[in-house]
Chain A
Amino acid sequence: MIEKNLEELKKVYQETKMPDYLIYNGWADLKFKLPNQQNNFFRNLVTKGLVFASICLLVSAGLIKSAQAAKPGDLLFPIKDFTQNVKAKITGNYQEIIQDRAQDVIDLSSKSQDKLNEAIRVYKQTVKDSQDNTKDSEKSQELKNTIEHQNEEIQKIENQDRNNSGHTNEDQQNVVQGVKTSTEQKNLLDNQKHKDQEGD
Chain B
Amino acid sequence: MLHFALFCVTYYRLVKYCPMDEIENLTKLAQRGDKNAFGAIYNLFYKKIYRYCMYNLNSQEQALDITQETFLKAWKSMPSFSQTSTGTMQAYLFKIAKNLIIDSSRKKKTESLENYQNLPMESNFEENFDTKSDIAKLKSAINTLDEKEKQIIILHYFEELSGSEIAKIVSIREGALRVRTHRILKKLKEKLGENS
Contacts and interface: CB of A to CB of B under 8 A. Distances in A.
Interface of A: 1-2, 5-6, 8-10, 12-14, 16-19, 21-22, 26-27, 29-31, 33-38, 40-41, 44
B158 A36 contact: no
Nearest to B188: A2
Contact of A22 (B64, B139, B188, B194): B64
Given A2-B189, A26-B67, A40 B43 contact: no
A27 B80 contact: no
B134 A16 contact: no
Contact of A31 (B30, B35, B46, B67): B35
B185 A44 contact: no
A8 B50 contact: no
A17 B125 CA distance: 10
Given A22-B67, A27-B39, A37-B78, A5 B47 contact: no
Interface in B153-167: 153-154, 157-158
B60 A5 contact: no
B99 interface: no
A195 B83 CA distance: 73
B138 A2 contact: yes
Contacts of B124: 16-17
B33 A38 contact: yes
B31 to A, nearest CB: 8
Q: Is the interface of B mostly helix, strand, loop or mixed?
A: helix
Contact of B134 (A5, A19, A40): A5
Given A6-B138, A8-B132, A19-B50, 15 more contacts: A1-B194, A2-B188, A9-B138, A9-B139, A10-B157, A17-B124, A19-B60, A19-B64, A22-B64, A26-B68, A30-B71, A31-B39, A34-B35, A37-B31, A38-B33
A16 B157 contact: no
Nearest to B51: A16
Nearest to A1: B194
Interface string B84-122: 000000000000000000000000000000000000000
B178 to A, nearest CB: 17
16 contacts: A6-B157, A8-B135, A12-B128, A13-B55, A13-B154, A14-B51, A16-B55, A19-B50, A29-B68, A30-B42, A30-B68, A30-B72, A31-B39, A34-B75, A40-B78, A40-B79
B76 A2 contact: no
A21 B61 CA distance: 11
B135 A12 contact: yes
Contacts of A27: 39, 42-43, 46
B29 to A, nearest CB: 11
B54 A16 contact: yes
Contacts of A38: 33
Q: Which 6 A-B pairs have the closest CB atoms?
A: A37-B33, A16-B51, A13-B158, A5-B138, A10-B158, A44-B79
Contacts of A30: 42, 68, 71-72
B50 A18 contact: yes
B169 to A, nearest CB: 17
Interface string B22-43: 0000000011110100110011
Interface in B140-161: 153-154, 157-158
A150 to B, nearest CB: 59
Nearest to A34: B75
A21 to B, nearest CB: 7
Contact of A34 (B72, B125, B132): B72
Nearest to A39: B33
A1 B196 CA distance: 13
A14 B55 CA distance: 10
